[in-house]
Amino acid sequence: MIKPHGSETLQPLFVQDAATRQALLKEAESLPSLLLNSAAAANAVMLGAGYFNPLRGYMNLADALSVAERMHTTDGLFWPVPIVNLTDDVSAIEGAQRIALRDPNVEGNPVLAVMDVEGIEVVPEERIQFMAEHIFGTLDPNHPGVATFVGLGNYLVSGPLQVLNFSYFETDFPDTFRTAAAIREEIRERGWKKVVAFQTRNPMHRAHEELCRMALERLGADGLVIHMLLGKLKPGDIPAAVRDACIRKMVDVYFPANTAMICGYGFDMLYAGPREAVLHAVFRQNMGASYLIVGRDHAGVGDYYGPFDAQSIFDEKVPAGALEIEIFRADHTAYSKKLDRVVMMREAPDHSKEDFVILSGTKVREMLGQGIAPPPEFSRPEVAQILMDYYRETAGEGGA
């Protein structure tokens, strides 16, 4: 199987031994504590799960700035996005060498991790702006990733972590949330050698389904890991539980046995386009995937990125040998009326726009909200039914 990024073996920061975990939880009761924001909590979960291997904790300011500008830490590790703990109030932990990190997303704010504090640095506003512009390629306050990042706070708390749980992801998504180590183990058990990863934050329609098939066939891969984001999205996005149900139904009905596994990871969407695509590749390598499907406007939002910027960054800014994982470059896929099947649009040069079944996300949401199933060329009827039930329910609650 492909090696993890930056080390020979995966080194997740979750404390495996139950007795040690209990001792740390007891110790945490007497430690100064910091209530994390959702972004920092998501970083802790990803560190604990091994997805951010080989990082040992939150980056200091020098590393964060270096990663933002050059996609390398100060000691030369290739890394695409700063993994930081920014906060707006450090009064409770000033002078502390060891602190408890509390979870903002679980009632009662239980301890998520114990941290050795190596630094508490004040980050001037211009440095926050500098990092945001490099990560997101814009400082537009309407960009949801920019808005989140610049609002996290101006204190950067760095140091190594011992992660004690996986927040709400394990309890809310017991059948779906998996650590990088657990996915590697399942890949091994299935006997897969060459594995394709598909990133999704949406339900999968026919085009996504066929794109995964194309990648499996063209790469001669043994299996597909459909790896869905389970964390926070922007308002209006479909909740993880609904996406999960849609994807499971599609795989159950339309994929042969032992060709696809469904799992998810605990992270908040950054909407960082190209930089986030590279981060996706890093942590897919850590979970054992040989390839990541990178499609049109991967991890994008609005019109902030060109349609294939998330592919070209791998040619222009990822140094040769920095990653072992490779990308499968996908164009927009759609159902061809001429050919009676889903194709990549660039592979159908004799087609006009009218030859494809193309529906905007807004149009699909309108149809589903009115109880109208999208055409079967766009969405599998079993998937459409789950989505219609969801939209009917939210409309009944005054949410749609």
Check whether residue 214 and residue 155 sit in a common domain.
no
Domain boundary among 170, 199, 219: 170
Q: How confident is the model at residue 397 (pLDDT cuts 50, 70, 90)?
A: low
- The CATH number assigned to the domain holding 150 equals 3.10.400.10
Which residue has 């060498």 as its token pair? 97
Check whether residue 187 and residue 307 sit in a common domain.
yes
Least confident of 60-64, 117-121, 170-174, 181-185: 170-174
Q: What is the pLDDT of residue 198?
A: 97
Can 201 be counted among the known catalytic residues? Answer: yes
Q: How far apart are alpha carbons 51 and 64 in whole angstroms?
A: 18
Check whether residue 143 and residue 88 sit in a common domain.
yes
Number of domains in the chain: 2
For 62-103, the pLDDT digits (tens) are: 999 999 999 999 999 999 999 999 999 999 999 999 999 999
DSSP H/E element including 327? strand 326-329
Peptide bond into 54 cis (omega under 30): yes
Instruction: Confirm whether 359 is domain-assigned.
Output: yes
Higher pLDDT, 374 or 396: 374
Give mean pLDDT, residues 337-361. Answer: 87
Q: Calculate the CA 55 to chain-centre distance.
A: 17
List the strands of the sheet with 333-336, edge to edge.
341-344, 333-336, 356-357
Check whether residue 89 and residue 114 sit in a common domain.
yes
Which position among 21, 109, 154, 202 bears the catalytic label? 202
Instruction: Confirm whether 278 is domain-assigned.
Output: yes
Contact between 59 and 53 (Cβ < 8 Å): no
Give 329's contacts (C-beta < 8 A, 6+ positions apart).
294, 308, 311
Domain boundary among 155, 170, 185: 170
Own/partner pairs, 148-152, CB within 8 angstroms, 24+ separation = 148/39, 148/268, 149/39, 149/86, 152/37, 152/39, 152/40, 152/86, 152/87, 152/88
DSSP conformation class of 58: E
Can 165 be counted among the known catalytic residues? Answer: no
* % the chain with pLDDT above 70: 98
Which position among 21, 201, 248, 392 bears the catalytic label? 201
Least confident of 2-6, 280-284, 362-366: 362-366
Check whether residue 126 and residue 35 sit in a common domain.
yes
Check whether residue 76 and residue 194 sit in a common domain.
no
Closest CA to 331 of 316, 304, 313, 310: 310
Q: What is the pLDDT of residue 358?
A: 82
Q: How far apart are alpha carbons 322 and 279 in whole angstroms?
A: 12
Closest CA to 25 of 93, 102, 95, 86: 102
Instruction: Confirm whether 147 is domain-assigned.
Output: yes
Instruction: Confirm whether 321 is domain-assigned.
Output: yes
Q: How far apart are alpha carbons 362 and 225 in whole angstroms?
A: 28
Least confident of 178-182, 293-297, 365-369: 365-369
For 134-176, the pLDDT digits (tens) are: 999 999 999 999 999 999 999 999 999 999 999 999 999 999 9
Instruction: Confirm whether 378 is domain-assigned.
Output: yes
Contact between 84 and 128 (Cβ < 8 Å): no
Closest CA to 387 of 173, 233, 237: 237
pLDDT at 193 over 90: yes
pLDDT at 400 over 80: no
Check whether residue 261 and residue 353 sit in a common domain.
yes
Q: What is the pLDDT of residue 99?
A: 98
- The CATH number assigned to the domain holding 254 equals 3.40.50.620
Closest CA to 241 of 171, 164, 155: 171
Whole-number Cα distances in Å, 360 to 76, 342, 365, 366 = 43, 16, 9, 10
Check whether residue 106 and residue 238 sit in a common domain.
no
According to DSSP, the residues that pair with 114 across neighbouring strands are 100, 162
Give φ, ψ of 189 to 5 degrees: -65, -35
- The CA-based diameter of the chain, rounded to the nearest angstrom, is 69
Instruction: Confirm whether 262 is domain-assigned.
Output: yes
Which domain does 291 fall in, by range?
175-396
Check whether residue 159 and residue 182 sit in a common domain.
no
Check whether residue 100 and residue 213 sit in a common domain.
no
DSSP H/E element including 383? helix 381-396
Give 285's contacts (C-beta < 8 A, 6+ positions apart).
2, 3, 4, 5, 323, 324, 325
Give mean pLDDT, residues 48-66. Answer: 98
For 294-338, the pLDDT digits (tens) are: 998 899 999 999 999 999 999 999 999 999 999 999 988 888 888
Check whether residue 239 and residue 189 sit in a common domain.
yes
Instruction: Confirm whether 10 is domain-assigned.
Output: no
pLDDT at 372 over 70: yes
Q: How far apart are alpha carbons 244 and 279 in whole angstroms?
A: 22
pTM of the model: 0.93
Give mean pLDDT, residues 30-43. Answer: 97
Check whether residue 143 and residue 181 sit in a common domain.
no
Neighbours of 188 (CB within 10 A): 12
Domain boundary among 170, 200, 233: 170
Q: What is the pLDDT of residue 396?
A: 65
